[in-house]
Structure 1
Amino acid sequence: MLGFGLVVRFTIKAGRMAEFDALVERTLTGIRAHEPGTLIYASHAVDGSPDVRVFYELYRDRDAFETHEQQPHTREFLDQRSEFVESFEVTFLEAVDVKSTAWGAQ
């Protein structure tokens, strides 16, 4: 398996983007410190859609994702996101092929 990934698209409530981004920053601090199985956790702004954030997450495997879901910083994010998020959509991904220096594939 070439990792376990997902994409999440968040639409943020009007006037709450700064607070949402601060929550994401706190979450990423915990991820960096405690999750070696989380290979990529990226929050993206969307050109032309200032109320949207798109996350790309890549984990070593499904177990690393499950470990991520149980972390205190992740639980805090999940518990607080409804304060800032109007809606969200999750798409789970399974890699079929890859070019990545992280996997040693070219």
Structure 2
Amino acid sequence: MGFGLVVRFVAHDAAAAHAFDRLARETLEQIRAMEPGTLVSINHAVPDQPRVRVFYELYADREAFEEHERQPHVRRFLAERGQYLESFEVTFLDEIDGKGSATCTA
């Protein structure tokens, strides 16, 4: 069953938001190349809120998420993100059903 999360980040200012985006981009490059169990990992900007970013992440299962968390590029992201952020909030998601979901076969 799929496992996911949504994270809302608030940067200190617009410059910090752009620096956060660079860190996220570097991390996402490694996620794409090295994490087959990470099905979706997207950094979103929020219209009219230049300091806000929202991550949406979907994993094949909880073990894929745990493997993701062990990766050096993710550990670097987690260690460095704080310098850019005023706050963040994580919401974990257990998949029920959906189009393009980990459990959908058609």
Sort the TM-score into its range (normalised by shorter chain). Answer: over 0.9
| C-alpha deviation, 1:101, in angstroms | 7.1
Indicate the residue corresponding to 1:45 in structure 2.
45
Partner of 1:16: helix, strand, or coil?
helix
| C-alpha deviation, 1:96, in angstroms | 1.5
Partner of 2:63: helix, strand, or coil?
helix
Measure the CA separation in 2 of the matches of 1:65 and 1:99.
Answer: 20
Unaligned runs of 5+ in 2: none
TM-score, normalised relative to structure 2:
0.93
Counterparts of 1:20-99 in structure 2, within 5 Å, are: 20-99=20-99
Measure the CA separation in 2 of the matches of 1:51 and 1:18.
Answer: 9
Amino-acid identity (%): 58
Between 32-41 and 91-100, the greater mean CA deviation after superposition: 91-100
Measure the CA separation in 2 of the matches of 1:46 and 1:19.
Answer: 16
- Alignment length, in residue pairs? 104
